[in-house]
Amino acid sequence: MSDLPVGVERRAFDGRESLATEGEAVYGEPTADGWRKWDVRRSKLGAMLEKGMDTGLSGGETVLYLGAAAGTTVSHVADFAGPTYAVEFAARPARDLLEAAEPRRNLFPLLKDARKPETYAHVVEPVDVLIQDVATRGQAKVALANRRFLDDDGRLLLAVKARSEDVARDPDAVFEEVLTTLREGYEVLETRSLEPFHDDHLAVVARPD
């Protein structure tokens, strides 16, 4: 079990212990003493930490987050990380992302397509951590295209959704194919299923190869 990053703690909410970060509430999550519950069932990164994966996160990193959606997870990331760039492609969830970013001075929302890194490379600096949770076909390709942002000793934290690649195929076959493509640019350090928190998701920790 690896240590939690500085700024992420286990705290009690309604008598039950859960991951938590310190910051303004975003999606109606329970709060206590300025800490907000990080619901690992709603967050793949949260589930990775909960399962004790060695994410390499220690707190204060520079982060590029792809697939920020409504900002649920990235708001927690911004609570414990340094400068955090949040890329989301869809306008509707980006509205909520803006709300999450408003009180977080280190969170920079961008309405951009993660498949086209050149459209935000003029804004995003090189980062220590690339977190990716995009629900699109070609998830490994997105990770490869965004490798340019990652420092040589940086980490890719990837949640692969089997159903985004191919609803009909066996998830394990899909994961194998994604990992094969991913290895064109990354060394895969650890993989783990996110059950029981998220069905048919594979979490991957990798570093640029």
Give contact residues for other proteins (rule: CB under 8 A).
Answer: 83, 91-92, 94-95, 97-98, 101-102, 105-111, 118-119, 121-126, 148-149, 151-152
Q: Which of 110/174 has CB closer to other proteins?
A: 110
- Calculated CA dihedral for residues 140, 145, 151, 156, nearest 10 degrees: -20
Structure tokens at 41: 């069932």
Closest CA to 136 of 75, 87, 103: 87
Provide, rounded to whole angstroms, the least separation between the CB of residue 145 and other proteins. Answer: 12
Provide, rounded to whole angstroms, the least separation between the CB of residue 122 and other proteins. Answer: 4
d(CA 92, CA 77) in angstroms, rounded, equals: 21
Q: Which of 97/160 has CB closer to other proteins?
A: 97
Q: Helix or strand or coil: residue 36?
A: strand
Strands (E), the chain: 8-13, 16-22, 31-32, 35-37, 63-66, 84-88, 107-111, 127-132, 150-161, 186-193, 201-208
Cα angle 76-82-87, degrees, rounded to a multiple of 5: 65
Q: Which of 81/203 has CB closer to other proteins?
A: 81
Provide, rounded to whole angstroms, the least separation between the CB of residue 205 and other proteins. Answer: 21
Q: Which of 98/135 has CB closer to other proteins?
A: 98
Provide, rounded to whole angstroms, the least separation between the CB of residue 57 and other proteins. Answer: 20
Provide, rounded to whole angstroms, the least separation between the CB of residue 64 and other proteins. Answer: 9
Q: Which of 96/165 has CB closer to other proteins?
A: 96
Question: Is-contact 139 131, C-beta < 8 A?
Answer: no
